[in-house]
A and B are shown apart, each in its own frame.
Chain A
Amino acid sequence: DAKTTQPTSMDCAEGRAANLPCNHSTISGNEYVYWYRQIHSQGPQYIIHGLKNNETNEMASLIITEDRKSSTLILPHATLRDTAVYYCIVRRSGNTPLVFGKGTRLSVIA
């Protein structure tokens, strides 16, 4: 599976959009981009995934560049409860296990 690079930490003001970048320059054609988050002391929570099209659900939007070498997770109106570590993961379709890096620690500030 392709490796990912994320900033170590980011801050975001409450109510503003949080834009979390992820670089996956070695991604191959059959690999999906997944985002999970982990709120302190809890298990990771699935957020969203995509292959090449932009995706949106009730939690977030995922923007994938045309060359698929990077993506951005967007939380449109961040709240204090969105403070967490966010993981960007690239893996093949099927049942391959997830490989977690260190993620981005997002702090939402009042």
Chain B
Amino acid sequence: NAGVTQTPKFQVLKTGQSMTLQCAQDMNHNSMYWYRQDPGMGLRLIYYSASEGTTDKGEVPNGYNVSRLNKREFSLRLESAAPSQTSVYFCASSEMAGSFQPQHFGDGTRLSIL
């Protein structure tokens, strides 16, 4: 079972370049999330999509845009990368219905911006 797949796994960018991080899940989940994790820190929510066709800002949305392409895919775009966006990015997904919805995470994209 693939679960949540993120591509690429590693990327180096120059300041000002743009890039899209891809995320796909095969669990038929309705909700998807993007987090970033900086060294020694917990995860911080960037954006999430509660269901196909909707997106909402999280704790740290500035400098990012997202697209919920379809139920399976949720992409994160950096329009003009800055060194402060050097981080590890995690995508997650969860079911929508029910009172308990564990999130399932991908293995992350390690992004360095020079």
- Give residues in A with beta carbon < 8 Å to B: 32, 34, 41-46, 49, 87, 93-95, 97-103
Contacts known (A43-B90, A43-B106, A97-B48); A102 close to B101, Cβ less than 8 A:
no
Number of A-B contacts (CB under 8 A): 55
Specify the chain A residue showing the minimal Cβ separation from B102. Answer: A46
A97 partner residues in chain B, CB cutoff 8 A: 33, 45, 48, 58
In the complex, what's the smallest C-beta–C-beta distance from B94 to chain A, in angstroms? 7
Question: Which stretch from B14-22, B36-44, B70-78, B79-87 is at the chain A interface?
Answer: B36-44
Other contacts beyond A44-B105, A94-B99: 13, CB < 8 A: A32-B99, A43-B92, A43-B105, A44-B90, A44-B103, A46-B104, A95-B101, A97-B48, A99-B45, A99-B59, A100-B43, A101-B42, A103-B42
Inter-subunit contact B101/A43 (CB<8 Å):
no
B100 partner residues in chain A, CB cutoff 8 A: 32, 49, 93
Specify the chain A residue showing the minimal Cβ separation from B106. Answer: A43
B113 beta carbon closer than 8 Å to chain A: no
Closest 8 CB pairs of A and B: A43-B105, A100-B42, A93-B99, A46-B102, A100-B43, A102-B42, A44-B105, A97-B45
The CA of A32 and the CA of B103, in the complex, are separated in Å by 14
B30 partner residues in chain A, CB cutoff 8 A: 95
B45 partner residues in chain A, CB cutoff 8 A: 97-99
In the complex, what's the smallest C-beta–C-beta distance from A1 to chain B, in angstroms? 12
B111 beta carbon closer than 8 Å to chain A: no
In the complex, what's the smallest C-beta–C-beta distance from B89 to chain A, in angstroms? 10
Inter-subunit contact B102/A34 (CB<8 Å):
yes
Contact flags (1/0) for B37-62 with A, using CB distance below 8 Å? 00011111100101000000011000
- Which of A44, A93, A101, A103 has the largest number of chain B CB atoms within 10 A? A44
